A and B are shown apart, each in its own frame.
Chain A
Amino acid sequence: MQDNTILRLLTAALLLAALPACGGIEPWVKPYERDRLADPIMFLDANPVSSAYIQHVYEAREGARGGEGSAGGGCGCN
Chain B
Amino acid sequence: MTMRKPVTLLLLFASFAVSRAGVLPDDRADILYHLYDGGGVEIDGPSVLVRKQVGKNVSVVGNYYVDMVSSASIDVVTTASPYSEEREQWSLGFDYLHGNTTMTAGYTSSTESDFDARTYSFSVSQDMFGDLTTLTLSYALGDDVVGRSDDATFSRDNTRQHYGVGLTQILTRNLIATLNFETITDEGFLNNPYRSVRYADPSSGTGYSFEPELYPATRTSNAIGMRARYFLPYRAAVQAEYRFFTDTWGIDSHTAALTYVHPIGPWTFRAKYRWHDQSSADFYNDLFPRPEATNFRGRDKELSTLTSQSLKFDASYEFLQDGWHFIDKGSINASVDFLMVDYHDFSDLTAGAVVGSEPLYQLDANVYQIFVSFWY
Q: Could you tell me which A residues sit within 8 Å of B by CB distance? A: 2, 5-6, 9-10, 12-13, 16-17, 19-20, 25-31, 33-34, 36-37, 39-42, 44-45, 47-78
Chain A contacts for B302, CB-based, 8 A: 60-63
Chain A contacts for B324, CB-based, 8 A: none
Chain A contacts for B179, CB-based, 8 A: 70
Q: Which of B172, B221, B263, B268 contacts A65 (CB 8 A)?
A: B221
Establish whether residues A63 and B251, one from each chain, have CB atoms under 8 Å apart when the complex forms: yes
Establish whether residues B32 and A27, one from each chain, have CB atoms under 8 Å apart when the complex forms: no
Known: A60-B2, A60-B5, A72-B20. Contact between A48 and B49, CB under 8 A? yes
CB-based A-B contact count at 8 angstroms:
253
Q: Could you tell me which B residues sit within 8 Å of A by CB distance? A: 2-5, 8-12, 14-23, 30, 32, 34, 36, 47, 49, 63, 65, 126-132, 134-138, 162-168, 170-174, 176, 178-185, 220-225, 227, 229, 231, 235-237, 239, 243-245, 247, 251, 253, 255, 261, 263, 268, 276, 278, 280-281, 302-303, 306, 308, 312, 333, 335, 337, 339, 341, 363, 365, 367, 369, 371, 373
Chain A contacts for B49, CB-based, 8 A: 48-49
Chain A contacts for B369, CB-based, 8 A: 50, 53-54
The CA of A49 and the CA of B24, in the complex, are separated in Å by 17
Chain A contacts for B220, CB-based, 8 A: 2, 5
Establish whether residues B9 and A69, one from each chain, have CB atoms under 8 Å apart when the complex forms: no
Establish whether residues B11 and A5, one from each chain, have CB atoms under 8 Å apart when the complex forms: no
Known: A61-B339, A67-B223. Contact between A20 and B165, CB under 8 A? no
Most B Cβ at <10 Å: residue of A40, A57, A64: A64
Q: Which of B9, B19, B172 contacts A52 (CB 8 A)?
A: B9
